[in-house]
């Protein structure tokens, strides 16, 4: 039960940060609401790479809070799927392909970079 609460506390912070990022990007890209999701997914992939690469030696509870909780609450792949569906539904196929490619390939590359940086430090 304690581990669930630890993940929940991290998730609360991650979810609040995700919403703040959405509000921030909506000010500048109101006509492209998927930009907020893209930014959060890429930042989240970098963060989880940094955390998993550097904090493996920390306690299980710290990893639960930061990786499962904070990153899990912050990243938004379910929203990614919904945004993709909306782009396809609106006939914006090229934008969908770019969005999906940057999210998936860019996220993997950035996660690897974060993991590499923390293991070389």
* pLDDT tens readout for residues 21-75: 999 999 999 898 889 989 999 999 999 988 888 756 778 899 899 989 999 999 9
For 15, the token pair is 């979810």
Backbone angles phi, psi at 45, to 5 degrees: -65, -40
Question: Assign residue 24 a region: left if phi > 0, alpha if psi is -120 to 50, beta otherwise?
Answer: alpha
Hey, CA dihedral for 71, 72, 74, 78, is it positive or negative? positive
**Does the structure show a pLDDT above 80 at 117?**
yes
State percent of the chain over pLDDT 70.
Answer: 98
Measured CA to CA, the distance from residue 66 to residue 87 in angstroms comes to 32
Measured CA to CA, the distance from residue 51 to residue 118 in angstroms comes to 8
């Amino acid at each position: 039960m304690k581990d669930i609460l630890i993940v929940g506390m991290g998730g609360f912070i991650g979810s609040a940060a995700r919403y703040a990022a959405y509000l921030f990007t909506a000010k500048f890209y109101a006509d492209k609401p998927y930009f907020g999701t893209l930014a959060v997914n890429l930042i989240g992939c970098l963060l989880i790479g940094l955390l998993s690469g550097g904090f493996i030696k920390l306690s299980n509870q710290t990893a639960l809070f930061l990786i499962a909780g904070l990153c899990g609450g912050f990243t938004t792949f379910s929203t990614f799927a919904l945004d993709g569906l909306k782009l396809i539904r609106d006939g914006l196929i090229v934008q969908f392909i770019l969005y999906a490619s940057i999210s998936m390939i860019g996220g993997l590359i950035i996660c690897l970079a974060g993991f590499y940086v923390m293991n070389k430090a």
